[in-house]
Amino acid sequence: MAQRIDVKDLNIFYGSFKAVADVNMTIEPRSVTAFIGPSGCGKSTFLRTLNRMHEVIPGARVEGTVAVEGVDLYGSEIDPVAVRRQVGMVFQRPNPFPTMSIAENVLAGIRLNNRKMSKSEGQDLVEQSLRGANLWNEVKDRLDRPGSGLSGGQQQRLCIARAIAVKPQVLLMDEPCSALDPISTLAIEDLIAELKSQYTIVIVTHNMQQAARVSEKTAFFNIAGTGQPGRLIEIDDTATMFSSPKEQATEDYISGRFG
Ligand SMILES: Nc1ncnc2c1ncn2[C@@H]1O[C@H](COP(=O)(O)OP(=O)(O)OP(=O)(O)O)[C@@H](O)[C@H]1O
């Protein structure tokens, strides 16, 4: 199911402000790629262009291409809704639908996509997705209770279950652990390690140890100054990035000298 992403000459705008300039990168399937860099360098903005969430913001647009398995997501014949089904997203704050039950939350993405399924098919998918998100054992006896009654870490795993229920090829995660305690963070990191055998995973994180723990590749973004666009400085194997990066700016950031 995992797919490769090729980004070419990507420039990202909010109105006339160029927020990110000239990104070229390949994101490998069945692996985790981490985006790191100082605040405002455009990590989240870039992440949102990988499933066309960026253009939901009025005035926001991109130039360049984002190809998933060779197909440009921004091609004129491409339906953005289909893109978001293929490329799922998990956000910083767990955001289950508060009035829906745990089971309904898992199926919410399917329902939005208007897919009809029988009750037993729905039940199977709920179980399969919750198992996939390492949450089944904790919630199997209260599937009809509100998703908002779970702990923060459980809610985030519920959101991951909701994302994988639509069977995406790619999972984008924007600081998925920043609102979680260390134990829940570990649970999510373990889950990411399991999911990467099936999905292409991209994670934005401020936590350098987390990038080192979970990812195969790390991309460092930087910004030259206020009002300047963010740029990709380098992307390499995570072990190399954290031991012998090619660029001085990467070394300075990783060693905590700035950012
Ligand atoms: N909705 C928006 N409208 C206009 N400008 C925006 C919008 N969202 C982000 N920006 C700007 O785009 C630039 C990149 O922001 P972005 O949030 O992508 O950075 P980031 O690296 O993810 O930062 P952080 O680590 O603080 O989350 C910033 O200058 C930001 O102010």
Q: Give a yes or no: residue 250 inside a domain.
A: yes
Q: Which of 45, 177, 178 to mutate to test the pocket of ligand 1 (most atoms within 8 A of CB)?
A: 45
> What residues make up the domain containing 237?
5-254
Token representation of residue 135? 């949450």
Give 43 Cα–ligand 1 centroid separation in angstroms: 8
Largest CA distance in the chain: 57
Backbone phi, psi, residue 79, to 5°? -90, 120
Q: Which of 35, 43, 175 to mutate to test the pocket of ligand 1 (most atoms within 8 A of CB)?
A: 43
Give 207 Cα–ligand 1 centroid separation in angstroms: 18
Report pLDDT for 2. 78
As for how many domains the chain has, the answer is: 1
Give 195 Cα–ligand 1 centroid separation in angstroms: 28
Q: Give a yes or no: residue 27 inside a domain.
A: yes
Q: Give a yes or no: residue 163 inside a domain.
A: yes
Give 90 Cα–ligand 1 centroid separation in angstroms: 17
pLDDT along the chain (259 residues), means of 10: 91 97 97 97 98 95 96 95 93 92 94 81 95 95 95 95 93 94 91 94 96 97 95 98 96 81
Report pLDDT for 217. 98
Q: Give a yes or no: residue 115 inside a domain.
A: yes
Residue with tokens 């809610």: 155
Report pLDDT for 258. 60
CB-defined site of ligand 1, < 6 Å? 14, 19, 37, 39-45, 57, 230
Q: Whose CA is nearest to atom 30 of ligand 1?
A: 40
Give 124 Cα–ligand 1 centroid separation in angstroms: 39
Which CATH number does the domain housing residue 182 bear? 3.40.50.300
Report pLDDT for 1. 65
Q: Give a yes or no: residue 259 inside a domain.
A: no
Q: Give a yes or no: residue 80 inside a domain.
A: yes
